[in-house]
Amino acid sequence: MCTSLTYTSATGHHFFARTMDFPTTTPWRPVFLPRYYHWETALHATRTTQYAILGGGR
């Protein structure tokens, strides 16, 4: 089961964290998407991130 938490700093910055409950042998790599990153979905819609995202993916 994944665990998550949110935190708001005294200066109003928001943070979100979540665990990855997979074995350490699962192949993954760090993934970073900067704020306002643009990409196209499989349905050809354009999306833009509002916040930067740091995580792990395959």
Contact 19, 25 (CB under 8 A): no
pLDDT tens digits for range 1-58:
678 889 999 999 999 888 877 677 778 888 899 999 999 999 999 999 998 988 877 7
Give kind and range of the element (H or E) at residue 18. strand 14-18
- Per the CB < 8 A criterion, the answer to whether 2 and 18 are in contact is yes
* pTM summary value: 0.53
Can you give the residue ranges of every domain in the chain?
A: 25-58
